[in-house]
Amino acid sequence: MNSMPALRLHAANHHLTLVSNSDTVTDYNRRYFGSWWKAFEVPSASAWTGPLLAADVDHDAYTRLRDLVELCPHEKTAYARAQTLVAHDDTGTITAVSPTPQLAYQHHTAAGRLTVHGPDVDQVALASARIARDALRGLLWPTAGPCCTLRPPSATGRPS
């Protein structure tokens, strides 16, 4: 796994590392994030520290996780405009599958690692960019949140 392309996404004092078995996925994310936040390659050996998103183009992994979720008790919800089945296990791992775009997500909570698997490189690239963007926003919110809070309106309806 250490030979996977690795991309560090950096915003303010926070970072997330993306690894993939596909250069297409890391190239897409570099282009997507390069105009907003810093996105640069890092040695794959250093990728395994801190928050990690692994985005793999892998039909077998998708199929294995889809079968697992379908056999386990699961909830149905919508994510990214697609029906998504979500299952939890005893270790705290959350596994979700969206059959229509053929994407499987697995969050290893204790390790701080999220993986996305799918057979289509474009779907995996798009999903990894969406997840990375939302994860970085989540890391940034405690910093930006207090300064973005609006004061309650005055009696006239305008901010005080």
pLDDT in tens, 126-144: 999 999 988 888 877 665 4
Could you give phi then psi for residue 152, rounded to 5 degrees? Answer: -65, 150
φ/ψ (deg, to 5) at 114:
-125, 135
DSSP-derived letter for residue 42 is: -
Domain extent listing, the chain: 6-143
% of residues, the chain, pLDDT over 70: 83
Tell me the two tokens of residue 127: 């999903």
Closest-CA residue to 104 (of 94, 113, 96):
96
Please say whether the dihedral angle defined by the alpha carbons of residues 130, 135, 139 and 143, taken in this order, is positive or negative. Answer: positive
| pLDDT on residue 125 | 97
Q: Quick check: 145 pLDDT over 70?
A: no
Please give the distance of CA 156 from its chain centroid, rounded to a whole number: 43
Per-residue pLDDT tens digits for 42-51: 877 766 677 8
- The predicted-structure confidence for 8-53, as pLDDT tens digits, reads as follows 887 788 888 899 999 999 999 999 887 777 887 887 776 667 788 9
Q: Which residue has the tokens 């949140």?
A: 145
135 contacts 16 by C-beta, under 8 angstroms: yes
Answer whether 99's CB lies under 8 Å from 83's CB: yes
Q: Say what the pLDDT of residue 1 is.
A: 43
